Amino acid sequence: MDLAVNMQSAIAQGTLWGIMALGVYITFRILDIPDLSCEGTFALGGCISAVMIVKGVNPFVSLVIALAAGMAAGAVTGFLHTKLKIPAILAGILTMIALYSVNIRIMGQPNTSLLGEDTAFTQAIDALKLDQTMATLLVGAVISIFVVLCIYWFCGTELGCALRATGNNEYMVRALGANTNTSKVIGLVISNGMISVSGALVGQSQGYGDIKMGTGAIVIGLASIVIGEVIFGKRFNFMYILASVVFGSVIYRMIISLVLYMGLSTDDMKLFTALVVALALGIPAIKSRYSQKRIPGKGGNTAC
Amino acid sequence: MLNIIDVHKTFNKGTVNEKKALDGIDLHLNPGDFVTVIGGNGAGKSTMLNMIAGVYPIDQGTILLDGKDISDLPEHKRAYMLGRVFQDPMMGTAAGMEIQENMAMAHRRGKNRGLRWGITKSEKKLYKEKLAMLDLGLEDRLTSKVGLLSGGQRQALTLLMATLNKPSLLLLDEHTAALDPKTAKKVLELTEKIIARDSLTAMMVTHNMKDAIRIGNRLIMMNSGRIIYDVSGEEKKNLKVTDLLQKFEETSGEDFANDRMLLS
């Protein structure tokens, strides 16, 4: 019974984290840039939203502010990478580190409790007479679906095509007259905006904003993407792939919930996640190593 | 048309790897010129094309295209006038995108990209017709990922994309060098066909001297960043490979005959 309750809660949490995974998908898979600023922007969203709610701002309005702040942070990474020519991974790290201080400044303290405050979830609970888990699931699912539809639409536009092509082949994109720097900045802005919203939602759902809440976000995002790809495969259309990222996030939360239930210490969680991602990302290499084994034939002499 | 005036470019200036790639290039192209460019390795052929395309900034000189000074324009802002095909068949197309999406990108070369659909229904019909001209069966594979195509197919597609909107100047940088002989021949025939059909102005770098003589109406030979021989019309038609080799040795005092040249 206890496990079933945990699972329901995990599924609900998975939809909230799924929005972050979609953000990571845009940079990591579409733009082919490993963007570490997401660790900072996830916490940024959580911190901004928490502070604003405590100050009496409507929790849904705080999501919009978190979106804007995340986009601004993405623009900073984009500026560092495209204008100052800093390698993408380092540009992301710089933004992430800078945001650590910014987040403390925003809250004036390392964390902000939302105990007894009105959040997006308490409003959903009151308005629709739901329990905590169902409210989380509803809010998470609605926003995830909205985000998936937005990304699907955007990737079909001229700008979206240029962005996808930039991740594929920059030479070609420039030769065809699109500015690859613009594409990269747009991608980073959208991605970090979404990640910040996800952080705001997770913060509201867990009842506090914390400067450390973004630690490991990139790995969790990657885990969700990879789990989605491994389980659902790259089939059908782009919408299916985007949905599989969210489902990957849900499944990741369920796995976490399960191993915790089975007695894994929360302190070992990050190690466990890292192992899962390393293994999942390494599967193609391991597979090809075994499938490429040469078939013994006349030309070879196995004896020597 | 194209006017290159006293263009210089040195790579890695002030280091031990300093390399004078272009040393005072002057070149004037008339509308409809189809120029073949030959020269040894490191002569500056590709660098010249890359300078016209704006891949790197030039150190000195002026490049005018259709009367417009493009010397300081970034690569993506010059693209609306230029069609380009590269030596590497992987470079001209996006492997992870569909054939029709690649063509749609090319169809919007140099235009402002906004939030309109990246590809429309009416375009798809146009692309199908254009692909049918290649005679590679690609017209039935509009939604296939380009990564599934062979090098020759990708190069043919790149050529089609480069000429989808008529460019002021078509730049072909050894675009058949990485293909097997049969495919290279096919792509070259296609190149001639498209250039003749649309009466394009084009520059084609090649290592094949026979092709360089046979194709186009003008031939230039480069060495150490300079144009050392410029021939057109009847004189070009009557050239022989031995003439070119001799010409090269005369003007440069070096032996032009590297293996790749003779064998091709």
The tens digit of pLDDT for each residue in A21-71 reads: 999 999 999 999 999 999 999 999 999 999 999 999 999 999 999 999 999
Whether the pLDDT of residue B254 is over 70: the answer is no
Q: How far is A20 from chain B (nearest CA, A)?
A: 24
Six token digits for residue A1? 């019974």
Which pLDDT belongs to residue A70?
A: 98
**Alpha carbon of B173 to those of B48, B84, B107, B204: distances in Å?**
10, 8, 21, 6
The reply to whether A187 touches chain B by the CB within 8 Å rule is no
Six token digits for residue A85? 């020519």
Express as a percent the part of chain B with pLDDT over 70.
95
- Type and span of the H or E element at B241: helix B241-252
Residues of A in contact with B114 (CB under 8 A): 157-159
Which pLDDT belongs to residue A234?
A: 73
Q: How far is A164 from chain B (nearest CA, A)?
A: 8
Express as a percent the part of chain A with pLDDT over 90.
68
**How sure is the predictor about B262, in pLDDT bands with cuts at 50, 70 and 90?**
low
Cross-chain Cβ contact B104/A161 below 8 Å: yes
Choose the weakest-confidence range: A171-180, A262-271, B64-73. A262-271
How far apart (Å, rounded) are the C-alpha atoms in residues B72 and B62? Answer: 9
The reply to whether B61 touches chain A by the CB within 8 Å rule is no
Which pLDDT belongs to residue B260?
A: 52
How far apart (Å, rounded) are the C-alpha atoms in residues B118 and B105? Answer: 8
Domain carrying residue B85 = 2-263
Express as a percent the part of chain B with pLDDT over 90.
72
Residues of A in contact with B79 (CB under 8 A): 174-177
CATH number at residue B137: 3.40.50.300
In the block, tokens 């190069």 appear at B155
Q: From A238, which residue of chain B is nearest by alpha-carbon distance?
A: B97
How far apart (Å, rounded) are the C-alpha atoms in residues A219 and B205? Answer: 47
Residue type, B264: S
The reply to whether A300 touches chain B by the CB within 8 Å rule is no
Q: What is the pLDDT of residues B145-172, one digit of tens each?
A: 999 999 999 999 999 999 999 999 999 9
Q: What angle do CA A251, A257, A263 make, to 5 degrees?
A: 140
The reply to whether B34 touches chain A by the CB within 8 Å rule is no
Whether the pLDDT of residue A284 is over 80: the answer is no
Whether the pLDDT of residue B215 is over 50: the answer is yes
B173 DSSP β-pair partners: B205
The structural architecture, per CATH, of the domain A2-291 is: Orthogonal Bundle (1.10)
User: What are residue B170's phi and psi, to 5 degrees?
Assistant: -105, 125
Domains: count for chain B: 1
Which pLDDT belongs to residue A303?
A: 47
Largest CA distance in chain A: 80
User: Exposed (0-12), middle (13-18) or buried (19+): which is A80, by Cβ within 10 Å?
Assistant: buried
How far apart (Å, rounded) are the C-alpha atoms in residues A219 and A211? Answer: 17
Secondary structure E strands in chain A: 111-113, 208-210
The reply to whether A281 touches chain B by the CB within 8 Å rule is no
Stated pTM of the model: 0.90
In the block, tokens 């409210």 appear at A135
Among candidates A157, A169, A178 on the partner chain, residue whose Cβ is nearest the Cβ of B115: A157
Residues of B in contact with A180 (CB under 8 A): 76
Which pLDDT belongs to residue B237?
A: 86
Pick the residue of A170, A172, A174, A235 with the most B CBs within 10 A to test the interface with B by mutation. A172
**How sure is the predictor about B261, in pLDDT bands with cuts at 50, 70 and 90?**
low
Q: What is the pLDDT of residues B113-145, one digit of tens each?
A: 888 898 988 999 999 999 998 888 899 999 999
**How sure is the predictor about A6, in pLDDT bands with cuts at 50, 70 and 90?**
confident
Q: How many CB atoms lie under 10 A from the CB of residue A126?
A: 11
The radius of gyration computed from the CA coordinates of chain A, to the nearest angstrom, equals 21
Which pLDDT belongs to residue B76?
A: 92
* More confident call, A300 vs B56: B56
Which pLDDT belongs to residue A129?
A: 83
Contact A53, A203 (CB under 8 A): no
Mean pLDDT of chain B: 90
Nearest CA-CA partner of A185 in A31, A21, A63: A31
Among candidates B75, B94, B116 on the partner chain, residue whose Cβ is nearest the Cβ of A169: B94
Which pLDDT belongs to residue A238?
A: 87
Cross-chain Cβ contact A161/B116 below 8 Å: no
In the block, tokens 């002026």 appear at B62
Contact B51, B63 (CB under 8 A): yes
Q: How many CB atoms lie under 10 A from the CB of residue B79?
A: 24
ipTM: 0.89
**How sure is the predictor about A241, in pLDDT bands with cuts at 50, 70 and 90?**
very high
Whether the pLDDT of residue A304 is over 60: the answer is no
The reply to whether A178 touches chain B by the CB within 8 Å rule is yes
Q: What is the pLDDT of residues A139-197, one digit of tens each?
A: 999 999 999 999 999 999 999 999 999 999 999 999 999 999 999 999 999 999 999 99
Say how far residue B2 (Cα) sits from the centre of its chain.
Answer: 14
Contact A81, A88 (CB under 8 A): yes
Contact A22, A242 (CB under 8 A): yes
Q: How many CB atoms lie under 10 A from the CB of residue A229?
A: 17
How far apart (Å, rounded) are the C-alpha atoms in residues B55 and A175? Answer: 9
